[in-house]
Amino acid sequence: MPKREFSLPAIPALQAALAVGALIGLLAVLLTFASLKLCEVVRGTDSCGGPGLLLLVATLVILTYVGGWLLRGFGIEDPGSTSFLAVGLLAVAAMLFFLDVIYNWWMVIVIPLVAMATYALSWWVTTRFVDIDE
């Protein structure tokens, strides 16, 4: 049986990056919330300590993979690099600017907006500066 390609509607690349950023931002919020609840159930506190690092790495890997998969579906060039850079920037921005307020309800709005910005920036960077063998 031939492998079926995954494809999404053809939209401009920047719009695709923004849409994927919004979805990945929401997924980041959901996975973070689920991780905190899992720690609370297992350890009785929302801080997992050492095992929390594994949850963080797993979350970042999932976000990067899903983001790359969605970008590939939209036909974006170099989807893996774009998603990797975007998720890395999102993680850095969250830790630098939002760590003190990360538990506020409005982070559900802020994190997807920041993810949209990081995906747009990452798309721009990878389309401008990635080596193309010609």
Mean per-residue pLDDT of the chain: 91
What is the span of the domain harbouring residue 33?
13-123
Q: For residue 133, is pLDDT > 60? A: no
Residue 33 lies in a domain: yes
Instruction: Flag whether 21 is in a domain.
Output: yes
The two three-digit tokens of residue 24, written as one number: 């990945």
- Is 65 domain-assigned? yes
Does any domain span residue 112?
yes
Is 68 contained in some domain? yes
Tokens of 95: 């830790």
On whether residue 1 sits in a domain, the answer given is no
- Indicate if the pLDDT at residue 1 is higher than 80: no
75: left (phi over 0), alpha (psi -120 to 50) or beta: left
Domain count of the fold of the chain = 1
Q: Are 81 and 65 in contact (CB under 8 A)?
A: no
21 touches 70 (CB < 8 A): no
With respect to residue 7, please indicate whether it lies within any of the assigned structural domains: no
As a whole number of angstroms, the distance between CA 134 and CA 123 comes to: 21
Render pLDDT for 71-95 as a digit per residue (tens, 0 to 9). Answer: 999 999 999 999 999 999 999 999 9
Q: What percent of the chain has pLDDT over 90?
A: 66
Identify residue 18 by its one-letter amino acid code: L
Residue 35 lies in a domain: yes
- Is the full-model pTM beyond 0.85? yes
- Least confident stretch, 18-22, 32-36, 118-122: 32-36
